Every structure is written in structure tokens, then in C-alpha cells.
């Protein structure tokens, strides 16, 4: 595999222009299912960068404003396999009234909103990187942008993506808190478990003898469950307990819900079965019932260290003087769903911190390096495929 560089696209990244662009995108108030402001912005900007754009109808499945955006840019060399970059257009919370603050080289909000670096930082980096490619005259293959909606609640937009519209089969997603240079090669399988526990409702003063508390049944079931870190590959959690009517009523039903993540599909299923069996045993022993429902969230993925995507990322990072390193994560990203649908991609770090909170931040260094690495990836992908 060639490591010779034919240009210096990353050196054409304009840090001031990138920072201004990030602020513009971060200030667009577009939480999950309300992504139209970002889409409208991109409808104007992407054609100026040479992209043809289209939207799918994913939003029809969850009453969103607009579907996933797929954008295609012809390369200077059509013989090069297309390369995609993906991120999501939504934020976990609103960013209305966002006021960016820079302190010691780090960008924050003023503390009254989230920053939205997850993942407007990646989107800004992609746009500026493509400008750098153009301004440097760097030869490149076709570039595709896959920009999803409703990612934050559970990768929903990617799940309902119209994959027939996508032409590329390999790419990258910058969506991790690791510093630029991080290459995530392995992600988890994940499923939710819903347990509807039934006892018998009764008034505590009028007919308490007829009552059978669903809460107490559920509590016994929970005490029999192994939760937290199950093994080196698997974690499990109960995150929802919901039920009851009045303080004077012995509760007749309660909903208990949790989630399991594992690098092993087999171990995921074993843990789900264990949790269901624990609650079913508690119900049977105490005259109650339980209905269990398993909801798949997403499948796991694994990319080889020898994959050309990984080799390209290592060389591209070296070209911009960034140290690359491999990790795996039990966190989920669109990477899981795209890989499941035949779009091979690792997750890359861009260094945002404290996401989903008003303390969210990203260093200017990581923002700029995300952009420089994107440009270097496009450049190196061309070099590695050019005979």
C-alpha cells in the first residue's frame, strides 16, 4: 500500500473559517425529529460544494420533519471507489439561544444550553475539509455524505434509512469522545427488555387482603438479577420502573425495563434470558404474572485492523502528525446500523467531552484536527486505490 502523498489537502484547512462554520451549525436549533433547520442550511451549502442531494422518507416512521440526507459528489477520478462520511443532524437537547464561549482553547456553551458538538463538530469538519480538497486541487474519488436524523434516541433515522439510495460501501463516522486519532474497531449488540409485571390491585384499607403488590413481585425479581458488569464483554441495566395509581392502592401492575449490551450476540441473549427468567420466577412464586418483550436496538460490528479503511486512517493520521490508536466501545452509534446494512465503517474520535450536558465542550485543536484528518482521509483513500 502506497504512503506517498500527492498533495497537502489538510494544510488548506482554514481554522478560522471552520470555527465560524461550527458556530453557525451549532446555533441551528434542531433536536431529534426537528432537523429541518440543518437540512435547509445544507440544501444551500452542499450544491455550492458540488454535491447533488436527496432525502429519503425515514421521518414518516416517527413523525419527524425531514428524512435522512444523502449527498453525492463526483470525484476527479471515477475509477476510485466512493468514500462516505456520515454523521447525524440532530442534537439531544435544543440549542436555541446558544452562546459559544472559548476558554483556554476549548469551546463551551455559556452553560444555559448544550453545545451541540455531538455531532455538529463532525458536520462542520466535513464541509470545511471538502472546501480544502477543492482549494488544494487534490485529486479524489467520489465522496458521499450520509447525514441521518433522529439518531440520539437510538439510531432511529439510520434504522429506517433507504439504503437503496446510497452508492458507496465504505466510509467513516466521526462520533466519539476519544481524541482525533482514535479508531474504534468494535461495537456492541444491544437490546432492550420490557417486563410487564402483574399482581392484583386493591385498596389498602378496604380490601387489602385481595391485593398482591406488583411492586414487591418486581422487587424480588430484580434482587435475583445480575446487573451491571456481567463479564468482560457484557453489561446490563434496569433503567425504567413505572407504575402505581394512588398511595392508597396496592399496585396491580408495574413496568420494568432495561438494556443489555455485549460484544457477543450469544452472551447478549444469555443475559436477556437470565433477566426474563428471574422476573418470571418471582411472579410464579408470588401468584403474579409477567409478560416479557425483547426489543432489538442494533447489531454489533467489528472491523479488521488489516481493512483498507483502517490502514488508510492510520496513514492519514500520520500525515497530519496525529497518533492513531485502536479501541472498542460498548457505546452505540450509527456505525452499528450502517455496518449491519452493508456499509463498512469504523467510528473515529473527534474529542467532544461531557456530551448531553450543559458542560459539553470540544477543544479547538480537536475540531481542527477532525477537519484535517477528514481531508487527509479523502486524499489517502485516493492514493491507496490509484494504481
2 part of a folded domain: no
For residues 7 and 135, give the distance between their C-alpha atoms in angstroms, rounded to a whole number: 11
The C-alpha atoms of residue 335 and residue 342 are separated, in whole angstroms, by: 11
| Residue that is last in its domain, among 254, 276, 298 | 298
Phi/psi at 137 (5° precision): 70, 25
- Give me the catalytic one of 35, 90, 220, 360: 90
Residues 124 and 89 in one domain: yes
pLDDT in tens, the chain (387 residues): 544 444 589 999 999 999 999 999 999 999 999 999 999 999 999 999 999 999 999 999 999 999 999 999 999 999 999 999 999 999 999 999 999 999 999 999 999 999 999 999 999 999 999 999 999 999 999 999 999 999 999 999 999 999 999 999 999 999 999 999 999 999 999 999 999 999 999 999 999 999 999 999 999 999 999 999 999 999 999 999 999 999 999 999 999 999 999 999 999 999 999 999 999 999 999 999 999 999 999 999 999 999 999 999 999 999 999 999 999 999 999 999 999 999 999 999 999 999 999 999 999 999 999 999 999 999 999 999 986
Residue 354 region by backbone torsions, left for phi larger than 0, else alpha for psi between -120 and 50, else beta: left
pLDDT of residue 386: 87
Structurally, the chain folds into a number of domains equal to 2
Task: Looking at the structure, tell me whether residues 360 and 256 fall in a common domain.
Answer: no
Specify the DSSP element, H or E, that contains 269.
helix 265-285
74 and 163 both lie in a single domain: yes
Asked whether residue 3 is assigned to any structural domain, the reply reads no
Within 8 A by CB and 6+ apart from 164, the residues are none
For residue 321, how many other CB atoms are within 10 A of its CB? 9
Does 283 lie in the same domain as 247? Answer: yes
Expressed as residue numbers, the domain containing 84 is 9-186+301-385
Report if residue 4 sits inside a domain: no
* pLDDT at site 8: 87
Residues 52 and 134 occupy one common structural domain? yes
Domain assignment present for residue 318? The answer is yes
Same domain, 281 and 154: no
The answer to whether residues 150 and 278 belong to one domain is: no
Q: Which of 56, 119, 151, 314 is catalytic?
A: 151
Are residue 121 and residue 36 in the same domain, yes or no?
A: yes
Q: Is residue 1 part of a domain?
A: no
**Neighbour-count burial of 208, counting CB atoms closer than 10 A to its CB (0-12 exposed, 13-18 middle, 19+ buried):** exposed
Q: Is residue 118 part of a domain?
A: yes
d(CA 181, CA 369): 9
**What is the pLDDT, as a whole number, of residue 6?**
44
Residues 373, 230 within the same domain? no
In angstroms, the CA 76 to CA 133 distance is 11
Q: What Rg do the C-alpha atoms of the chain give, in angstroms?
A: 24
Q: What is the model's pLDDT at position 5?
A: 47
Are residues 370 and 307 both part of a single domain? yes
Indicate if 175 belongs to the active site.
Answer: no
Residue where a domain stops, chosen among 298, 318, 348: 298
| CA-based nearest residue to 344, from 36, 83, 164 | 83
**pTM of structure:** 0.92
Query: CATH number, domain at 378?
Result: 3.40.630.10
**Residue 151 is a catalytic residue:** yes
Cβ atoms of 89 and 152 closer than 8 Å: no
- Is residue 25 domain-shared with residue 166, that is, in the same domain? yes
The string over 156-190, giving b where at least 16 C-beta atoms fall within 10 Å of a residue's C-beta and e elsewhere, is: bbbbbbeeeebebebbbbbbbbbbbbbbbbbbbbb
| Strand-by-strand arrangement of the 289-298 sheet | 228-231, 234-243, 253-262, 189-198, 289-298
Given a contact cutoff of 8 angstroms between Cβ atoms, the answer to whether 363 and 107 are in contact is: yes
CA pair distance 266, 230, nearest whole angstrom: 13
Q: What 3-state class would DSSP assign to 24?
A: helix
At 227 the pLDDT is 98
Same domain? For 182 and 326 the reply is yes
Amino acid at each position: 500500500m502506497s504512503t506517498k502523498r500527492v498533495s497537502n489537502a489538510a494544510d488548506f484547512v482554514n481554522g478560522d473559517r471552520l470555527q465560524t462554520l461550527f458556530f453557525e451549525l451549532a446555533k441551528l436549533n434542531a433536536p431529534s425529529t426537528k432537523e429541518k433547520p440543518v437540512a435547509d442550511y445544507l440544501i444551500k451549502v452542499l450544491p455550492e460544494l458540488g454535491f447533488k442531494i436527496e432525502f429519503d422518507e425515514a421521518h414518516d416512521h416517527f413523525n419527524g420533519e425531514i428524512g435522512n440526507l444523502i449527498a453525492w459528489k463526483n470525484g476527479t477520478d471515477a475509477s476510485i471507489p466512493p468514500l462516505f462520511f456520515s454523521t447525524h443532524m440532530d442534537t439531544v437537547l435544543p440549542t436555541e439561544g446558544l452562546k459559544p464561549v472559548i476558554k483556554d482553547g476549548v469551546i463551551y456553551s455559556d452553560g444555559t444550553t448544550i453545545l451541540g458538538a455531538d455531532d455538529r463538530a463532525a458536520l462542520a469538519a466535513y464541509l470545511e475539509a471538502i472546501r480544502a480538497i477543492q482549494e488544494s486541487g487534490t485529486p479524489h474519488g467520489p465522496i458521499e455524505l450520509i447525514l441521518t436524523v433522529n439518531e440520539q434516541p437510538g439510531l432511529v433515522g439510520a434504522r429506517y434509512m433507504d439504503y437503496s439510495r446510497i452508492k458507496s460501501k465504505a466510509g467513516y463516522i466521526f462520533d466519539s469522545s476519544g481524541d482525533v486519532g482514535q479508531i474504534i474497531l468494535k461495537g456492541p449488540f444491544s437490546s432492550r427488555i420490557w417486563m410487564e409485571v402483574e399482581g392484583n390491585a386493591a385498596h389498602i384499607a378496604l380490601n387489602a387482603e385481595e391485593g398482591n403488590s406488583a411492586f414487591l413481585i418486581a422487587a424480588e425479581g430484580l434482587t435475583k438479577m445480575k446487573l451491571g458488569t456481567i463479564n468482560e464483554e457484557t453489561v446490563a441495566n434496569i433503567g425504567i420502573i413505572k407504575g402505581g395509581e394512588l398511595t392508597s392502592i396496592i399496585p396491580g401492575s408495574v413496568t420494568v425495563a432495561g438494556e443489555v449490551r455485549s460484544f457477543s450476540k450469544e452472551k447478549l441473549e444469555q443475559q436477556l434470558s437470565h433477566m426474563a427468567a428471574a422476573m418470571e420466577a418471582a411472579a410464579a412464586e408470588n401468584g403474579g404474572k409477567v409478560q416479557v418483550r425483547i426489543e432489538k436496538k442494533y447489531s454489533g460490528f467489528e472491523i479488521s485492523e488489516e481493512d483498507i479503511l483502517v490502514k488508510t486512517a492510520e496513514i492519514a493520521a500520520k500525515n497530519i502528525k496525529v497518533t492513531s490508536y485502536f479501541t472498542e466501545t460498548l457505546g452505540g452509534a450509527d456505525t452499528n446500523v450502517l455496518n449491519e446494512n452493508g456499509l463498512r465503517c469504523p467510528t473515529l474520535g473527534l474529542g467532544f467531552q461531557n456530551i448531553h450536558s450543559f458542560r459539553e465542550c470540544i477543544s479547538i485543536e480537536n475540531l481542527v484536527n477532525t477537519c484535517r484528518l477528514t481531508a487527509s482521509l479523502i486524499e489517502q483513500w485516493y492514493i491507496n486505490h490509484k494504481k
